[in-house]
Structure 1
Amino acid sequence: MADQVRGTASAAEAQVRASAAAVGSLRQDVAAGRLRLDPVAGQEIQHMLAEQVDQVQNWLKRATDLGRRAPLGRNPVGQAVAAKLADHGTGDGDSFTGVLQQYRQVLEDTREAVEDAMRRSRADDERAEEEFRRIGQQL
């Protein structure tokens, strides 16, 4: 059972890492000017991301119970198993809460990338508007 939990957590951690890499590519595209985002669409995306971050925060609050040691007795084997199970729930890395914390960071990074894309889009629109005004004044 513990190996199955560890395997599932490792798979989830790998998915989160892949998402983080995708967000890194997104940020590069935004920085290079290859991606612009309409402010209205960006606000919708930011709203969805904020809802997901709130949900992850709720999961993390509820996950504190996973870190409690199961009452498996005072013998060395029971204590070792209880500690191992608690670590699967709330330890670092590929524990349940560790993966959730990594996922929350990916969501925050995505939100920042969306914000940057929206800011770039507004700046580009303002430059184009100013250029049209300048051309109009010359005519």
Structure 2
Amino acid sequence: MASAEAGGFAAAKEGLKAIGAQTQSINQQVSAGKLALDPQVAEEAAKRVEEEIEALQKLLKKTQALSVVKGLGDYPDGQQLAQRFQDKATDSNSGAAELVRNLQEELQKQADAFRGAARDYRATDEQNSDDLRRGMQ
């Protein structure tokens, strides 16, 4: 099977790595207490990321259509070309469909990270309110 690089997907794999690094950074900042987002802002960010996930679902359907290339004839060259399209679309290690699914998963992790930052904001806000109430008593 073709590798992602041979299939022309090297840039997509690098982009996926970059998004993974962003997600990891967000999660680390949340865990360290360095990132707490206003719940409304965090929810808007999470929804925006989920819109991208939905757009990728449409792309995934188009990608899967590449696996059913017809009209290239019964000659060996035509069959080989059709197989190359199928491999680029559906190869489980490096095909376009797999890359799109991996991107969707990574974006979902990012949406979850934004919501985690909102939870931390609420928890910090509640703790501060409790501390203020105890201080006033």
Short-chain TM bin: 0.7 to 0.9
The sequence identity of aligned pairs, in percent, is 30
Structure-1-length-normalised TM-score: 0.86
Q: 1:123 and 1:22 mapped to 2: Cα distance?
A: 24
Q: Which residue of 1 aligns with 2:80?
A: 80
How big is the shift at 1:45? Answer: 0.6
Q: Which residue of 2 aligns with 1:6?
A: 7
Q: How many residues align?
A: 135
Classify the secondary structure of the residue corresponding to 1:72: coil
Between Structure 1 and Structure 2, the one with more helix by share is 1
Q: CA RMSD in A?
A: 2.2
Amino acid at match of 1:62: K
Deviation readout 1:12-64 (Å, 9 max, x if unpaired): 11111111122112111111111111111111112211211111112212322
Q: Which residue of 2 aligns with 1:129?
A: 129
- Structure 1 consecutive aligned stretches of length 4 or more whose deviation exceeds 3 Å: none
Classify the secondary structure of the residue corresponding to 1:106: helix
Q: Which residue of 2 aligns with 1:95?
A: 95
Q: 2:41 and 2:6 mapped to 1: Cα distance?
A: 38
Amino acid at match of 1:121: Y
Q: Return 10-19 or 55-64, whichever deviates more.
A: 55-64
Amino acid at match of 1:49: V
How big is the shift at 1:102? Answer: 1.5
Q: 1:26 and 1:19 mapped to 2: Cα distance?
A: 11
Structure-to-structure mapping, 1:1-139, within 5 angstroms: 6-7=7-8, 9-137=9-137
Q: 1:47 and 1:75 mapped to 2: Cα distance?
A: 49
Q: 1:72 and 1:5 mapped to 2: Cα distance?
A: 22
Amino acid at match of 2:44: E
Give the gaps of 5 or more residues in structure 2: none
Q: 1:43 and 1:58 mapped to 2: Cα distance?
A: 23
Amino acid at match of 1:37: L
Q: 2:90 and 2:123 mapped to 1: Cα distance?
A: 43
Amino acid at match of 2:117: A
Q: 1:70 and 1:6 mapped to 2: Cα distance?
A: 20
Give the gaps of 5 or more residues in structure 1: none
Contact 1:91 1:98 in 2 (8 A): yes
Structure-2-length-normalised TM-score: 0.87
